[in-house]
């Protein structure tokens, strides 16, 4: 295409009208489009699409970090993963963490948002208190909570003793270490859900509250009859985001236990990491990755089914 | 989903409902019992949420002996001291790590926002072959957890010789399909008449994108940028894997490696936690509005 045709295309563009449009402008728009898209698409293919494809390939090989191996082993890695008790245990730990953390992370967030939304003074302070931990790196929250859960000098046991309970070996005890991680995680991330709920509540038209209060509805009544029903879509969104986020457990569990693998806290992501970067078994690690991916996809499909059913009703 | 599909004007108003809401609270009864109860619950929760951090701050100001004594008081027996902070700051690596964190987080933010905005604009305003299925593919990729890709990505970094480089740290973190989705929604809501007027005046697409679409999207761009920045600043797993060179580590990874070296030096560990947290807390205090807005519009930005 010549420079003159180019200029013509720019000037006429889409506003030139359908009648005037020849292949020139359309082709020009194609070129312009790909120019806008190219940087993203290159990164998308290089760092997302290709790794997904290559990961599938790796999962069928016995590739190691050192470049040794690499031979095709068929489904051997998957067979090994599915027959591996450690894989199942870490999968279970991940699901158990998700169950334990999701409920308080949604309910507490709703409670916090509902209270803050009442128009009480000091909004910025509440927002800062609840959201600030979300800004902290996992390294930081891990250190703070390891210190709090320290059996000898930590605040958690000081509180237990103050109310007359026996001290607990929080992170050292296999019965309580996952619970400790859940507590730290709720503290760390509830602020994000809190802000999502707050935004959803503040999108509810104020006229509805005005009308209700003219009809004599009090605060509770307004919350139950106006706020809560309209939070349905937000709750579905928060629930899904939370489940997906919780399934990705790694940072805090790994760091709060000082990088030591514990049977009761090893998450599936931690097992992926251990298989790949501690045992150097890239192929096997890739296979576990896709077992984990399958779990995520199942959650996604379940979510799609549930939301569609809701819409039909 | 309503939170993800705000129009520009809605998005701007999300963050400032305070006055409006207070005005229509049921009847001016500031001491209604319900409000007192709500206030008390809120205060208890807020204290519960602030305490762990304040406790860490207080411990950072103690001597190591006081910190390890198990004495639950806020100020140690020897009084407050800056020893732990100066011990951390005299460790040269902390500055290098902070610089690495800043450099890579800013680079990730700038590249992510730039390439996502370009793609989002094309999907919103331009007509090209394969537009639909390409957009669907990108949206579908939102469900791919980055953790699934660590093995093939690491392998790719080995092949590109990018292990232990800034590029290896930065490039795999710039692909954010959710951001393309959010920005596209936003561009969709910008009135097309503004662009048509510019086109009549002879502006080309790049010019329109740069001088009209981008400036109008400044609030959403800021929100997206802040979220990308927080995510990049706090990311642990990828930097932990791709960087082994101590001088290239980011703050979270660097701090993690020295914890064992500190042993039971609690005051230093807490001082260092506080120092690492400080930049983002300052950013939050400055950009509170945009962050709240960002959460509202980018429900997908979860960690």
Task: Return the bridge partners of B165, or none.
Answer: none
Residues from chain B that touch A118, judged by Cβ atoms under 8 A, are 25, 35, 38
Residues from chain B that touch A34, judged by Cβ atoms under 8 A, are 128
The pLDDT of residue B3 is 36
Residues from chain B that touch A117, judged by Cβ atoms under 8 A, are 21
Structure tokens at B111: 């590249």
Contact A219 B149 (CB under 8 A): no
Distance (Å) from the alpha carbon of B244 to chain A's nearest alpha carbon? 12
Distance (Å) from the alpha carbon of A185 to chain B's nearest alpha carbon? 12
Distance (Å) from the alpha carbon of A175 to chain B's nearest alpha carbon? 23
Buried b (16+ CB within 10 A) or exposed e, A125-140: ebbbbbbbbbbbbbbb
Residues from chain B that touch A51, judged by Cβ atoms under 8 A, are 149, 152-153, 156
- CA dist B150 and A248 (Å) reads 13
For the ranges A60-74, A233-247, A254-268, B272-286, the lowest mean pLDDT is seen at A60-74
Q: Which of B18, B52, B270 sits opposite A123 (nearest CB)?
A: B18
Distance (Å) from the alpha carbon of A27 to chain B's nearest alpha carbon? 9
Residues from chain A that touch B119, judged by Cβ atoms under 8 A, are 36-37, 39-41
pLDDT band at A306 (very low <50, low <70, confident <90, very high): confident
Q: Which of B22, B273, B302 sits opposite A140 (nearest CB)?
A: B273
Distance (Å) from the alpha carbon of A208 to chain B's nearest alpha carbon? 10
Contact A51 B202 (CB under 8 A): no
Structure tokens at A180: 């400790």
Contact A195 B296 (CB under 8 A): yes
Residues from chain A that touch B42, judged by Cβ atoms under 8 A, are 112, 115-116, 120, 126
Q: What is the ipTM of this complex?
A: 0.82
- CA dist B240 and B244 (Å) reads 8
pLDDT digits (tens, 9 = 90+) for A4-38: 333 333 433 444 344 444 455 578 888 899 999 99
Distance (Å) from the alpha carbon of B170 to chain A's nearest alpha carbon? 11
Output phi, psi for B7, to 5 deg.
Answer: -80, 165
The pLDDT of residue A312 is 61
Residues from chain B that touch A127, judged by Cβ atoms under 8 A, are 288, 292
Distance (Å) from the alpha carbon of B75 to chain A's nearest alpha carbon? 14
Beta strands in chain A (DSSP E): none
Q: Which of B46, B144, B285 sits opposite A129 (nearest CB)?
A: B46
Distance (Å) from the alpha carbon of A157 to chain B's nearest alpha carbon? 10
DSSP sequence for A76-145: HHHHHHHT-HHHHHHHHHHHHHHHHHHHHHHHHHHHHHHHHTT--S-HHHHHHHHHGGGGS-HHHHHHHH
Contact A50 B128 (CB under 8 A): no
Contact B1 A233 (CB under 8 A): yes
Contact B145 A244 (CB under 8 A): yes
What does pTM read for this prediction?
0.84
Chain A, chain B: beta-carbon pairs less than 8 Å apart? 333
Q: At what angle are helices B92-125 and B266-286 packed, to 10 degrees?
A: 30
The pLDDT of residue B1 is 34
Q: Which residue of B has its CA nearest to A147?
A: B266
Which of A62-66, A93-97, A242-246, A259-263 has the highest mean predicted lDDT (pLDDT)? A93-97
For the ranges A177-181, A211-215, B155-159, the lowest mean pLDDT is seen at A211-215
Q: Which of B26, B241, B292 sits opposite A127 (nearest CB)?
A: B292
Write out residues in chain B with pLDDT < 70, as ranges. 1-32, 70, 72, 260-264, 296-303
The pLDDT of residue A35 is 93
Whether the per-residue pLDDT at A130 is higher than 50: the answer is yes
Residues from chain B that touch A35, judged by Cβ atoms under 8 A, are 206
Query: How far apart, in Å, are the Cα atoms of B245 and each of B93, B169, B249?
Result: 12, 12, 7
What is the average pLDDT value for chain A, to the nearest integer? Answer: 85
Q: Domain residue spans in chain A?
A: 2-52, 76-312
DSSP A60: T
The pLDDT of residue A45 is 96
| B139 close to B175: Cβ distance less than 8 angstroms | no
The pLDDT of residue A18 is 41
Best B112, B151, B179 member to test A by mutation, with max A CBs in 10 Å, is: B151
| B227 close to B15: Cβ distance less than 8 angstroms | no
Q: Which residue of B has its CA nearest to A15?
A: B196
Class of domain A76-312: mainly alpha
Q: At what angle are helices B251-262 and B266-286 packed, to 10 degrees?
A: 160
pLDDT digits (tens, 9 = 90+) for B257-291: 877 666 667 888 888 888 888 888 888 888 887 77
Which of A41-45, A112-116, A126-130 has the highest mean predicted lDDT (pLDDT)? A41-45
Contact B234 A138 (CB under 8 A): yes
């Amino acid at each position: 295409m010549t420079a003159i045709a180019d200029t013509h295309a720019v000037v006429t563009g889409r506003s030139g009208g359908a009648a005037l449009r020849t292949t020139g402008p359309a082709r020009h728009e194609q070129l312009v489009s790909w120019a806008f898209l190219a940087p993203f698409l290159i990164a998308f293919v290089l760092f997302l699409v290709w790794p997904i494809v290559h990961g599938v390939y790796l999962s069928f090989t016995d590739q190691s970090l050192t470049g040794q191996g690499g031979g095709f082993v068929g489904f051997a890695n998957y067979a090994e993963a599915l027959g591996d008790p450690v894989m199942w245990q870490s999968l279970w730990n991940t699901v158990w963490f998700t169950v334990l953390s999701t409920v308080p992370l949604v309910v507490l967030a709703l409670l916090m948002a509902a209270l803050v939304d009442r128009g009480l003074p000091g909004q910025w302070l509440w927002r800062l208190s609840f959201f600030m931990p979300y800004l902290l790196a996992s390294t930081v929250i891990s250190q703070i909570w390891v210190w709090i859960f320290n059996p000898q000098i930590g605040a958690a046991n000081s509180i237990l003793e103050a109310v007359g309970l026996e001290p607990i070996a929080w992170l050292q005890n296999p019965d309580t270490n996952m619970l400790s991680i859940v507590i730290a995680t709720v503290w760390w991330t509830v602020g994000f859900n809190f802000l999502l709920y707050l935004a959803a509540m503040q999108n509810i038209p104020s006229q509805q509250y005005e009308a209700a209060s003219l009809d004599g509805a009090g605060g509770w009544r307004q919350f139950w009859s106006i706020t809560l029903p309209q939070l349905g879509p937000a709750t579905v969104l928060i629930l899904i985001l939370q489940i997906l986020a919780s399934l990705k457990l790694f940072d805090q569990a790994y760091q709060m236990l000082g990088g030591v693998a514990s049977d009761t806290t090893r998450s599936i992501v931690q097992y992926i990491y251990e298989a790949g970067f501690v045992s150097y078994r890239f192929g096997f690690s890739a296979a576990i990755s896709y077992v984990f991916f399958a779990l995520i996809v199942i959650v996604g499909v379940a979510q799609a089914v549930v939301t569609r059913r809701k819409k039909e009703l | 989903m309503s939170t993800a599909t705000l129009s520009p004007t809605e998005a701007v108003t999300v963050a400032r409902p305070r006055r409006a809401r207070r005005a229509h609270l049921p009847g001016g009864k500031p001491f209604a019992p319900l409000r007192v109860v709500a206030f008390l619950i809120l205060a208890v929760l807020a204290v519960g949420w602030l305490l762990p951090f304040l406790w860490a701050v207080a411990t950072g100001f103690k001597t190591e002996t006081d910190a390890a004594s198990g004495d639950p008081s806020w100020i140690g027996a020897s009084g407050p001291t800056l020893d732990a902070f100066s011990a951390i700051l005299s460790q040269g690596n902390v500055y290098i790590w902070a610089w690495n964190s800043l450099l890579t987080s800013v680079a990730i933010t700038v590249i992510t926002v730039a390439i996502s905005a370009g793609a989002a604009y094309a999907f919103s305003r331009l007509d090209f072959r394969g537009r639909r299925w390409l957009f669907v593919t990108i949206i579908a990729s939102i469900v791919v957890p980055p953790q699934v890709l660590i093995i093939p990505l690491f392998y790719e970094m080995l092949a590109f010789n990018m292990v232990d480089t800034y590029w290896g740290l930065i490039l795999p973190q710039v692909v954010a399909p959710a951001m393309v989705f959010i920005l596209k929604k936003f561009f969709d809501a910008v009135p097309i008449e503004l662009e048509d007027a510019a086109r009549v005046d002879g502006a080309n697409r790049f010019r329109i994108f740069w001088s009209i679409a981008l400036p109008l999207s400044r609030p959403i761009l800021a929100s997206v940028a802040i979220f990308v920045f927080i995510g990049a600043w706090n990311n642990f797993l990828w930097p932990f894997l791709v960087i082994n060179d101590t001088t290239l580590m980011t703050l979270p990874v660097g701090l993690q490696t020295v914890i064992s070296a500190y042993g039971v030096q609690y005051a230093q560990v807490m001082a260092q936690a506080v120092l690492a947290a400080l930049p983002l807390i300052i950013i939050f205090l400055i950009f509170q509005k945009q962050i709240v807005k960002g959460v509202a519009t980018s429900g997908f930005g979860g960690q």
